[in-house]
DNA sequence: GTGAAAGCGCTAACAA
DNA sequence: TTGTTAGCGCTTTCAC
């Protein structure tokens, strides 16, 4: 209980060797005799010694830990992302820890303080609230990979999704299947910065224009937090206000789930009365009724690429920044007609 | 870019004061003259200094960070939990970081190594794969609160859910609404240790017995990872094998979502042919079609209590361990009949 | 193959 | 109000 923490010194004294030898044993360095190693390990075990990672880090700079910064823990997208990354890193014997920045700029900047970031060997940053200028202020001497949509300074390594083509694909599919009055739920035509909502609204708008349809502003239904509840409430509002639609492109699957509920509330059947397409291909989307037609951003590849970029920087501080663009594909399920 | 990290020493030299004064300013200690403070802050700003948290931690032992260890990032339950905790901690100006232990004992033990835990001021541990003996080996001189079901050594502070009564409530509700052949999806009658699945199966079994119904073993459908996909596949299997049921108690809402899909696949209507109750009251559960009747574990209170126990230990290392038991309530929605 | 010395960047304790 | 000293526990460097 109250007993003092066992340090390397204690082990060294007990084993009758120097701390350096203990350190060498614990770090699997080659320059230790076999029976010395054996003996040290025995003592380590007996005393229940565990290395102090803080001290190691202070001295060596290495932590064995990668940080993932996400806007929110409770958006399923980030949970699935974190899970994939964590599993992939485990193969490299590294640990993932996840922090939530909150979607607000203030909390994001705080999570992003150099002080916090420097605790990691590398950082995967999925930041939504920051603009170029913010990112430009961060000058961590530390590997970072940006995951996401926004424009970022060229010096950043970055993996991003093909948002506009993905949204276009979704919308074209709705048009192909006969929808003509297609709303974009969660889209934004204008915003202070380009972001997921504007990119995906642009793809929607492009597809409509190509098909000779009018991307009317009243078909663009912006959201704040992209939660299921918000999406359901907003679509209920616009339907009650008399908006007539036969298709919905929801900017995320989570938004689509809300739309599904809201449409059902209004007595509209999916896909018979209104067809619906999402974006993200969450695990759950295959298991809704009806199954959700959606855009698959090939997360496994995005994760693999992110980690590749991270490893490159880990190996070579001055690796030239790379921009990787993912692929998107359409997954057709029951929420659109045959 | 390659420029060396700015240290407190640099700031001190540049400002013409000692490092202690810089430290005092940055920690808002009262013993600094106003114009000295002002000047130091200016220099800090000009040089872009940020404190090295690793060094601070090594010296002071405080980190300002709480760790939450969860089995998986991609189970919605933990995402919602993490989100609640993160927001609550922000009010105390503390940060939450989340680690995934993986449901396997090995990875759990690794995430739980003293070395890793000691990086935090306190740890909230939602461990599923550990037993008493494992937990007994952990002797961190560090505040821990266990969240969860299992029996734990008395010296631990702990918040747990009323699993058995909750499961009983769910099952009684099914019986009240007319179900008679009620399966427990994800339940286990026997297991090496008491765990969520056994507790909830016990509540199910108790309720059946009380009602004079037979808790037949073939009504207990165990699961491995409690994913939506697995739940859907398993219920499809047992239905195909000829199991006749008119009610399902799913041990989690996530499992219930899979059950909903599987029942639909089999051409069974919910709640007309088969009634369904979950457990957890996830955000999404209100937005399914039909809405999911479920057990609400009052997560906000559980989170508040967990943080209270943590703060108690932070303030007094020797605070007597407390066991807090949450309350459960039934939330009735469309997946059970009226 | 092993060990002694130095110091990573900060803060606790005490002195001035 | 400010500064000096010591040292958190480890790893780097270099000597033996």
Q: pLDDT tens for residues A30-77? A: 888 999 999 999 999 999 999 999 999 999 988 889 999 998 999 999
Determine the distance between B52 (CA) and D1 (C1') in angstroms. Answer: 25
At B59-90, the pLDDT tens digits run 998 888 999 999 899 999 999 999 999 999 98
Whether A272 contacts A245, CB under 8 Å:
no
On whether residue A174 sits in a domain, the answer given is: yes
Residue in A148, A165, A144, A164 with CA at minimum distance from that of residue A81: A148
Task: Examine the domain organization and report whether A97 and A133 are in the same domain.
Answer: yes
On whether residue A46 sits in a domain, the answer given is: yes
CB burial of residue B328 (10 Å; 0-12, 13-18, 19+):
buried
On whether residue B333 sits in a domain, the answer given is: no
Task: Examine the domain organization and report whether A171 and A261 are in the same domain.
Answer: yes
For residue A146, report the phi and psi dihedrals to the nearest 5 degrees: -90, 130
CB burial of residue A265 (10 Å; 0-12, 13-18, 19+):
middle
Calpha distance A87→B197 (Å, rounded)? 25
Q: The dihedral of CA B243, B244, B247, B253: what is its sign?
A: positive
Task: Examine the domain organization and report whether A201 and A252 are in the same domain.
Answer: yes
- Name residues whose C-beta falls within 8 Å of residue A186's C-beta, 6 or more positions apart in sequence: A197, A200, A221, A222, A223, A226, A231, A250, A251, A252, A255
- Name residues whose C-beta falls within 8 Å of residue B132's C-beta, 6 or more positions apart in sequence: B150, B151, B152, B153
Residues above pLDDT 70, as percent of chain A = 92
Instruction: Name the H helices within chain B.
Output: 8-15, 19-26, 34-47, 53-60, 76-91, 105-111, 114-117, 132-137, 163-176, 196-210, 228-240, 253-265, 299-315
On whether residue B3 sits in a domain, the answer given is: no
- Name residues whose C-beta falls within 8 Å of residue B123's C-beta, 6 or more positions apart in sequence: B66, B67, B68, B69, B117, B140, B142, B143, B144, B145
Rama region for B67: left / alpha / beta (φ>0; ψ in -120 to 50; rest): beta
Task: Examine the domain organization and report whether B266 and B189 are in the same domain.
Answer: yes
* CATH number, residue B310: 3.40.50.2300
User: Is 90 exceeded by the pLDDT of residue B233?
Assistant: yes
What integer is the mean pLDDT of B190-209?
93
* CATH number, residue B45: 1.10.260.40
Residue found under tokens 């993160």: B86
Whether B152 contacts B133, CB under 8 Å:
no
Residue B293: DSSP 8-state: B
On whether residue A315 sits in a domain, the answer given is: yes
The pair of structure tokens assigned to A301 is: 């590849």
Looking at residue A333, its pLDDT comes to 98
On whether residue A1 sits in a domain, the answer given is: no
Task: Examine the domain organization and report whether B120 and B209 are in the same domain.
Answer: no
Residue B228: which of A2, A118, A283 has the nearest Cβ? A283
Calpha distance B116→B118 (Å, rounded)? 5
Helix count (H) and strand count (E) of chain B?
13, 12
What integer is the mean pLDDT of B138-144?
76
The pair of structure tokens assigned to A90 is: 């485990």
Does B64 lie at the interface with A, CB-CB under 8 angstroms? no
On whether residue B335 sits in a domain, the answer given is: no
Calpha distance A148→A267 (Å, rounded)? 36
Q: The dihedral of CA A226, A228, A231, A234: what is its sign?
A: negative
Maximal CA-CA distance, chain B: 84
- Residue B111 and residue A95: Cβ atoms within 8 Å? yes
What integer is the mean pLDDT of A121-130?
82
Residues with CB under 7 A from strand D: A 5, 7-9, 19-20, 23, 26-27, 51-52, 55-56, 58-60, 62; B 16-21, 24, 30-33, 36-37, 55, 58-59
Determine the distance between B50 (CA) and C10 (C1') in angstroms. Answer: 12
Instruction: Name the H helices within A31-101.
Output: 34-47, 53-60, 76-91
**In what order do the strands lie in the sheet containing A247-250?**
A220-221, A182-185, A247-250, A275-277
**Long-range contact list for B212-216, CB < 8 A, 24+ apart?**
B213/B175, B213/B180, B213/B182
How far is the alpha carbon of B141 from chain A, nearest alpha carbon, in Å?
Answer: 7
Task: Examine the domain organization and report whether B285 and B310 are in the same domain.
Answer: no
Residue B260: which of A50, A51, A289 has the nearest Cβ? A289
User: Is 80 exceeded by the pLDDT of residue A150?
Assistant: no
At A94-123, the pLDDT tens digits run 899 999 887 566 666 666 677 888 889 999
Does B73 lie at the interface with A, CB-CB under 8 angstroms? yes
Range of the domain at B42: 8-51
Task: Examine the domain organization and report whether B191 and B180 are in the same domain.
Answer: yes
Task: Examine the domain organization and report whether B202 and B154 are in the same domain.
Answer: no
Calpha distance B32→B12 (Å, rounded)? 14
Calpha distance B284→B288 (Å, rounded)? 7
At B305-317, the pLDDT tens digits run 999 999 999 888 8
Task: Examine the domain organization and report whether A46 and A193 are in the same domain.
Answer: no
Task: Examine the domain organization and report whether A178 and A200 are in the same domain.
Answer: yes
Task: Examine the domain organization and report whether B242 and B317 are in the same domain.
Answer: no
At A153-212, the pLDDT tens digits run 788 899 999 999 999 999 999 999 999 999 999 999 998 888 899 999 999 999 999 999
Looking at residue A118, its pLDDT comes to 85
Domain count, chain A: 3
pTM value is 0.92
Residue in B92, B31, B19 with CA at minimum distance from that of residue B59: B19
**Confidence label for A1 from pLDDT (cuts 50, 70 and 90):** very low
- Residue B228 and residue A119: Cβ atoms within 8 Å? no
Query: Pairing state of beta strands A294-296 and A329-331?
Result: antiparallel
Task: Examine the domain organization and report whether B77 and B98 are in the same domain.
Answer: yes
Residue B287: which of A1, A52, A228 has the nearest Cβ? A228
Q: The dihedral of CA B232, B237, B240, B241: what is its sign?
A: negative
On whether residue A334 sits in a domain, the answer given is: no
Looking at residue A2, its pLDDT comes to 41
Whether B295 contacts B331, CB under 8 Å:
yes
> How many alpha carbons fall within 13 Å on the CB side of residue B257?
28
At A237-288, the pLDDT tens digits run 999 999 999 999 999 999 999 999 999 999 999 999 999 999 999 999 999 9
Whether B110 contacts B100, CB under 8 Å:
no
Size of interface A-B (CB pairs under 8 A): 158
Q: What count of other Cβ atoms lies within 10 Å of the Cβ of residue B236?
A: 17
């Amino acid at each position: 209980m109250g007993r003092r923490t066992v340090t390397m010194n204690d082990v060294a004294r007990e084993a009758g060797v120097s701390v350096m030898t203990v350190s060498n044993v614990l770090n699997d360095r080659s320059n230790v005799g076999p029976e010395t190693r054996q003996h040290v390990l025995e003592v380590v075990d007996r005393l229940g010694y565990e290395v102090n990672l803080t001290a190691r880090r202070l001295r060596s700079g290495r932590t064995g830990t990668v940080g993932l910064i996400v806007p929110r823990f409770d958006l399923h997208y980030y949970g699935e992302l974190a899970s994939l990354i964590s599993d992939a890193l485990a193969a490299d014997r590294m640990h993932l820890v996840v922090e939530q920045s909150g979607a607000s700029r203030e909390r994001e900047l705080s999570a992003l303080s150099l002080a916090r970031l420097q605790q990691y060997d590398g950082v995967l940053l999925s930041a939504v609230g920051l603009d170029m200028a913010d990112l430009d202020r961060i000058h961590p001497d530390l590997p970072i990979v940006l995951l996401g949509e926004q424009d970022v300074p060229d010096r950043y390594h970055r993996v991003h999704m093909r948002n506009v083509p993905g949204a276009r694909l979704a919308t074209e599919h709705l048009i192909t299947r006969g929808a003509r009055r297609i709303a974009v739920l969660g889209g934004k035509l204008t915003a202070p910065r380009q972001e997921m909502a504007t990119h995906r609204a642009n793809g929607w708008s492009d597809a409509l224009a190509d098909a000779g349809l009018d991307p009317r502003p009243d078909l663009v239904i912006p959201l704040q937090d992209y939660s299921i509840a918000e999406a359901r409430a907003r679509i209920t509002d616009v339907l009650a206000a008399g908006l007539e639609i036969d298709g919905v492109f929801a900017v995320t699957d989570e938004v689509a789930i809300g739309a599904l509920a809201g449409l059902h509330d209004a007595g509209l059947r999916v896909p018979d009365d209104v067809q619906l397409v999402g974006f993200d291909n969450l695990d759950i989307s295959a298991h809704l009724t009806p199954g959700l037609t959606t855009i698959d951003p090939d997360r496994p590849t995005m994760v693999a690429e992110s980690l590749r970029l991270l490893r490159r920087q880990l190996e070579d501080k001055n690796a030239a920044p790379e921009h990787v663009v993912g692929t998107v594909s359409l997954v057709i399920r029951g929420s659109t007609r045959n």
